[in-house]
Amino acid sequence: MAFVVSSGELATTGAGVLPAYAPVTFRAQPWEYEAIWRTQPQVRTVIGFIARNIAQLGIHVFRRVSDTDRQRLTDHPLAQLLADPLPRMTPYRWVERLISDAALYDNAYGIKLKLDGRLRILPVPPTLIRPYGGNWIAPEYYDTPGGRQFGPDEVIHIHGYSPTDLTYGESPIEALRDLILESSEAAKQRAQMWRNGARLTGVLVRPADAPEWNSKEKARFREMWRTFSEGGGAEGGTPILEDGMEYKSIGFTPEAAQYIEARKLTREECAAAYFIPPPLIGILDHATYSNIQEQHKHLYQDTLGPWTVMFQQELVAQVLPDLPDNQDVYCEFNIESKLRGDFESQAAAASTAAGGPWMTRNEIRARNNLPRIEGGDELIVPMNVTEGGLASPRDTAPDSAGGAPKAGGLPRRKASGRPSSLGTFASERDALESTLTAFTERQANALLAAAGAKADDSGGDSPPMPDLLALWAKGSKDRLAQLQALLSTHGYRLAQVGAWDVLDVYNPEAEGWSAEVMLAWILAAAETHAQQHEDAGREAVAKVQEEGGDGWREALQSAAASWGSAAAARARTASTELRSFGSHDAAGASGLTKKIWRTGGKNPRPSHKAQDGETVSLDDVFSNGLRWPGDGKGRTEELVNCHCTLDYAKEE
């Protein structure tokens, strides 16, 4: 165990700030990476994204008691170190510093200090420390600009991969160097253009047959032009060209140089070097609500997961051995708090897990900044929730104390036949939404490319508008077939999910019911939804064709985006219909005779809210004319984004 003992004066470590210090190494000079970070916004954005998102996570320390049990440690020396790494340095800044160093240099250093009887870790910029000597497996010591040398056991060194040895990491910035240099030179050229009054460089052309100038006339014109050009045009007014002179620009125009596209490319390449999905850092060209939502879910799993695992294991390997009581101790970032759903999802899961209400009225009032009330500390248990009856207070038709059905329902029975491959309604709905949205985006991009309306095809005057409806019709037949296959495949699963929601409760052996019976209806529904989605896209294209004009490219891009948004709404509407049909089919096969409308969603439409609890015979329709939520035979305004469900009961 080795520490640098200090009485609180961190300068005694020898790692003082010496800007002129330049460690000699065969690798790229570290201060070059520092200059890139300071001057290149794309690099700073990506590294800041990684460091800030990891730094906001708390690091918890645990002891592994068994394979299925662990104990949270709050007074362990490692927990104290992570909670208070240095005087006047918060855990957030400490983690942010080390992760930023690792992201920029692929090397992060910290010197072990013994302050006030406790181990502390002082982060040291990689420009002020370097491994020295030794061999390709381990260095002999670490050198600092103050002349102080530290043994390997006095330093924590977190580094990535190098193809040459095991002692140092190679920065990802090296692979981006040429691209960043190109972006930097382009920025200089833009700055020069603005300093020149936003004018491009050019030459003055004087006709050959123009009258000869004497020296006085040349000096007069030269002075006038110098005053104009050096003042950026602001001080010299408008120049007067004499004798038929012309000004001819030379060099790239901003459009030809593609400044915006180049800057976007640089950011995309930087994001790719650090394995970050572009929408997470503001590149929204191909972003949709569904794929951004999915990428957010995977942020702390696939994007930042490797960083957190690396940091956790390095702390355990390089710091924990220096601390007492380290048997079976480890640390973890508190990623769980970031992977939880919104409060509504958490509340539903907690209610199901607890089997009943789990928060008091005063706890809810406190969340909404309301004062406590008398008697608000008791849990209110609804009368339809009984111990050993329902698994969740959101279920209906619970067992009574004597086992007889309540409210016309049937007692729950053990489920036995549900296919294990089926997910929840939410997961199956999201799968359909993701697939249909991706399919729609591919088709829309193909149309844009065929019409010459892709964003990266722009440049110069807008070309004449082609026959957009002819281009659309060219792929319509294949598109419809693919849409029907897509919708029927996902629809079959969604209908089964709805069916088993009923069968699990009333008919777990699925007696008298078969999933194959639903296929004919599902195929017909898929054909209807496919045609409606195809028609929605065609109508958007027809509108662009009708309006025409020079802005047809932008209008077509907007139409393609709106068709993509319509795909998400179409998937949700179809999912509701398919689940409702499946549950209705299973209810009929299980001998149920009544269906009850249950209004769902955060902001239900008034007509649905008014009929919450409405009960009709299984073969009848509700007051809004629908057989079930999402019924394709109903009016469109009754179907879109409907989140309602059905309950069932048997005639008393």
Instruction: Give the model confidence (pLDDT) of 598-613 as tens digits.
Output: 888 777 777 788 888 8
The answer to whether residues 409 and 397 touch, using CB atoms and an 8 Å cutoff, is yes
Residue 129: Cβ within 10 Å count: 26
DSSP state at residue 514:
-
Question: pLDDT at residue 361 above 60?
Answer: yes
Residue 364 has pLDDT above 60, yes or no: yes
Going by C-beta distance under 8 Å and a sequence separation of 6 or more, which residues neighbour residue 311? 54, 95, 98, 99, 102, 158, 333
pLDDT of residue 378: 79
pLDDT at 11 over 50: no
Tell me the per-residue pLDDT of 85-137, one tens digit each, with 9 for 90 and over.
998 899 999 999 999 999 999 999 999 998 888 899 999 999 899 898 888 88
pLDDT per position as a tens digit, 453-486: 765 454 555 678 888 888 888 888 888 888 888 8
521-566 confidence digits (pLDDT tens): 888 888 888 898 888 888 988 888 888 877 888 888 888 888 888 8
Q: Residue 413: how many CB atoms within 10 A of its CB?
A: 13
Bridge-based pairing state of the strands 4-5 and 107-115: parallel
Tell me what percent of the residues of the chain surpass a pLDDT of 70.
75
- Mean pLDDT, the chain, rounded, equals 78
Amino acid letter, residue 477: K
Strand locations in 55-183 (E): 59-66, 69-73, 107-115, 118-124, 130-132, 141-143, 149-150, 155-159
Compute how many other C-beta atoms are within 10 angstroms of the C-beta atom of residue 43. Answer: 25
Would the pLDDT of 391 be above 80?
Answer: no
Provide the pLDDT for residue 352: 60
Q: What whole-number percentage of the chain has pLDDT above 90?
A: 17
pLDDT for position 412: 38
Cα separations (Å) of 464 from 46, 82, 468?
40, 64, 11
pLDDT at residue 263, as a whole number? 61
Banded model confidence at residue 14, pLDDT cuts 50, 70, 90: very low
Most confident range, picked from 47-51, 173-177, 420-424, 515-519: 47-51
Determine the pLDDT at residue 194. 57
- Is 617 a residue whose pLDDT tops 80? yes
What stretches of 164-288 adopt beta strand conformation (E)? 202-205, 246-249
For the segment 225-231, the average pLDDT, to the nearest whole number, is 71
Listed by start position, the domains of the chain span 1-15+40-163+274-338, 175-257, 340-395, 425-454+464-649
Is pTM, for the whole model, over 0.95? no
Say which residue, 154 or 631, is predicted with more confidence.
154
Task: List CB contacts of 594: < 8 A, sequence separation 6 or more.
Answer: 408, 615, 616, 617, 618, 648, 649, 650, 651
**Strand locations in 136-195 (E):** 141-143, 149-150, 155-159
CA neighbours within 13 Å on the CB side: how many for 343? Answer: 5
CA–CA gap between residue 111 and residue 98 (Å, rounded): 12
pLDDT, position 445: 86
The C-alpha atoms of residue 425 and residue 644 are separated, in whole angstroms, by 13
Residue 297 has pLDDT above 90, yes or no: no
Which letter, b or e, does each residue of 18-40 get, where b requires 16 or more Cβ atoms within 10 Å of its Cβ?
Answer: eeebebeeebeebeebeebbeeb
- Helix (H, G, I), strand (E, B), or coil: what is residue 83? helix
Q: pLDDT of 38-83, one tens digit each?
A: 888 888 889 999 999 999 988 999 999 888 788 999 999 999 999 9
